[in-house]
Amino acid sequence: MSRHMLFVGGVLLALAAVLIKIVTGPPALGWYVLAWALFAAALWPARRVPERRLTALVVTGGIALTAIGLAAPPSSSTDSYRYAWDGRVQGAGISPYDHVPADPALVPLRDDWLFPPECTASGLWPLPDGGCTRINRPTVPTIYPPVAQGYFLLVHWLSPDGVRHKALQLGGWVMAVLVLLALCRQAGARSAAYWAWCPAVPVEAVNNAHVDMLGVLLVVLAFCTVRARGALLGAAVAAKLLPATALPGALSGALANGVAWRRVFRVAVPAALAVGLAYVPYVLAARAPVAGYLLGYLREERYEAPGDGNRYVVLRLVMPDSWAPYAAILLLALVVLHVLRHGDPERPWHGALVVTGSLLLLFTPGYSWYALLVVALAAMDGRWEWLGVALAGAIAYVAGPAAHPSPATACYAAATLAVLIGWAVRRSSATRRPGRTAAVSNS
């Protein structure tokens, strides 16, 4: 066994110890930074490990590291409690869009886990009629789209009594492993290590059991096939809206020479049908709008008032706050247009990575799990420089929205700079190599 492989194995053991500390304790900025430092320290010498040996280390290490997320209840997010509640409500034959968790009509569905009798623990939300709940925002309707709701219902059906959060965590672990195996097959072990060892995966996909993992899995599967790509991307959008950013990638280069209508229809029509068909049963069953709390969430996150929060932090470094939302929309539109005109149709995941990562760098959300899709696409594309987007999201979340000045500003700025430098270096290297195609040099 080479010394590089021994070193990588030792670093992964240290990373495992730090991840255990993260998932078993309250969020701490220092532990998150250390985890990401160890992640980087493992990736660097892994470049010198032979591919065959590295494959075993990536797969076994990835499976073990993600399993650490199963070691404790959700450590830094309460979203999975809403998932469990939505599944339970559907299991009772009630639309999750019709009633808020605090609705007295749903009192028969309450139990001591989601609605504890004692309200002394931290992280509980008060109810208007007294008492408390683990479910966040109990007075607003659910925000999650229909494929996510179907997943919540499936987990509810398959879960034994008293399993609580563990079934959702196990579902996240299974999906994370499936993504790892797909990446190893599609991109090779060296790139798959970006996903396998990334601290965001055991923390956000498994321990906090975010449903974003379902969208990530569907997007990765979509880019591993051609025939079902549109339908899988549509299902991903109906699981979590963010995967809509992968659609321009699937149409990379579609505007290079006019409009490639056949490609557009082959992706757009199945995607639209998948989204529409997923919504049909919920629209028919619900009396309330199936958009749920989406618009209220956008207002809550201060996307309309950038000066009153930590959104658009990179743009606000170089322009007035009031300009930032319009600049973000314009720049994102230009990125999408670039992918549609100059993207490589043989590498659609690259266009998806550019659009998804750019959206997060422009809008700078404060939730680290949003970047799980960026991590997966970076692994598929072999573009390590985009991993800084996930680190910036983690720093933003742990620091919290009340941090002024927020360390997330510097982290998002550094992540943006890393992406721009990576793009410049790769472009310069490609143009110096003879015989390269225009598609490669523009990638």
What's the pLDDT tens digit per position in 31-75?
999 999 999 999 999 988 888 889 999 999 999 999 999 999 999
What's the pLDDT tens digit per position in 271-286?
999 999 999 999 998 8
- Asked if residue 223 has pLDDT above 50, the reply is yes
Q: Which structure tokens are listed for 225?
A: 């096939």
Q: Which structure tokens are listed for 218?
A: 């569907």
What's the pLDDT tens digit per position in 389-442?
999 999 999 988 766 677 889 999 999 999 999 999 988 877 776 554 444 334
Cα–Cα distance, 220 to 201 (Å, whole number):
15
Contact (CB, 8 A) for 376 and 183: yes
Please give the pLDDT value at position 344: 96
β partners of residue 125: 133
Mean pLDDT of 365-371: 92
Question: Interhelix angle for 407-432 vs 348-363, to 10°?
Answer: 150
* 3-class SS of residue 132: strand
Cis peptide before 405 (omega within 30 of 0): yes
Please give the pLDDT value at position 225: 93
Please give the pLDDT value at position 433: 66
Q: What does DSSP assign to residue 204?
A: I
